[in-house]
Amino acid sequence: MNVPALGVVEGDARRALDKAQYDRFLPIVRRIAMRAARRVPRHIAVADLVSCGWLGLMEAFHRATPGMAPEEFEAYASYRIRGAMLDYLRSLDTGSKHMRRASRDLSRTIKNLGQSLGRAPTEQEIAQSLGMTEPGYQEHLARLSEAGMTRLELFDFDHDKVDSGVEPADDALAHRQLADALADAVTQLPARLQMVLALYYQEECTLKEIGAVLNLSESMISRLHTEAVHRLRAAIGRE
Alpha-carbon distance 229 to 220, whole Å? 14
Q: What is the pLDDT of residue 171?
A: 54
- At the topology level, CATH places domain 6-91 in Rna Polymerase Sigma Factor; Chain: A (1.10.1740)
Q: What is the pLDDT of residue 45?
A: 85
* pLDDT tens digits, 27-41: 999 999 988 887 776
One-letter-per-residue 3-state SS of 116-184: HHCCCCCHHHHHHHCCCCHHHHHHHHHHHHHCCCCCCHHHHHHCCCCCCCCCHHHHHHHHHHHHHHHHH
Per-domain residue ranges of the chain: 6-91, 97-235
Alpha-carbon distance 196 to 203, whole Å? 10
Q: What is the pLDDT of residue 4?
A: 64
Give residues with Cβ within 8 angstroms of 42, minimum separation 6: none
CA atoms within 13 A on the CB side of 56: 32
Q: What is the pLDDT of residue 204?
A: 80
Pick the CATH number of 97-235 from 3.90.1310, 1.20.120, 1.10.10, 1.20.140: 1.20.140
Alpha-carbon distance 156 to 151, whole Å? 10
CB 236 within 8 A of CB 157: yes
Which CB contacts under 8 angstroms, 24+ apart, belong to 113-119?
Answer: 114/234, 114/235
Residue stretches of the chain with pLDDT short of 70? 1-4, 6, 41, 93-96, 151-175, 238-239
